Amino acid sequence: MTLHEILQRDVDTALPTESTQVAAQRMATRNVGMLVVLDGKARPVGVLTDRDLAISVVASGLNPHQTLVRDVMTSEPTTIGNERSADDALIIMRSRGIRRLPIVNGRGVLVGVVSLDDVLQRLSRQLAGTAEVLDTSSPRRLGVSQLSPGSEVPDVDSTAAHRRPPTRGWRVDS
The total domain count for the chain is 1
Higher pLDDT, 145 or 70: 70
Check whether 165 has a pLDDT greater than 70: no
pLDDT tens digits along 104-115: 999 999 999 999
Give the model's pLDDT for residue 121. Answer: 86
Give the model's pLDDT for residue 171. Answer: 44
For residue 62, what pLDDT band results from cuts at 50, 70 and 90?
A: very high
Is residue 78, in this structure, part of any structural domain at all? yes
Q: What is the DSSP string of 137-174?
A: T-HHHHTEEE--TT-EE--S-TTSSS----EETEEE--
Is residue 144, in this structure, part of any structural domain at all? no
Check whether 139 has a pLDDT greater than 70: no
Give the model's pLDDT for residue 173. Answer: 47
CB atoms near residue 52 (< 10 Å): 20
Q: What is the DSSP string of 26-39?
A: HHHHHT-SEEEEE-
Check whether 27 has a pLDDT greater than 50: yes
Is residue 139, in this structure, part of any structural domain at all? no
Is residue 132, in this structure, part of any structural domain at all? no
Average pLDDT, the chain: 84
Domain span including residue 56: 3-121
Give the model's pLDDT for residue 11. Answer: 95
Assign residue 48 the CATH number of its domain: 3.10.580.10
* Beta bridge mates, 167: 153
Is residue 33, in this structure, part of any structural domain at all? yes
Give the model's pLDDT for residue 142. Answer: 60
Check whether 150 has a pLDDT greater than 70: no
Cβ(13)–Cβ(37) below 8 Å: yes
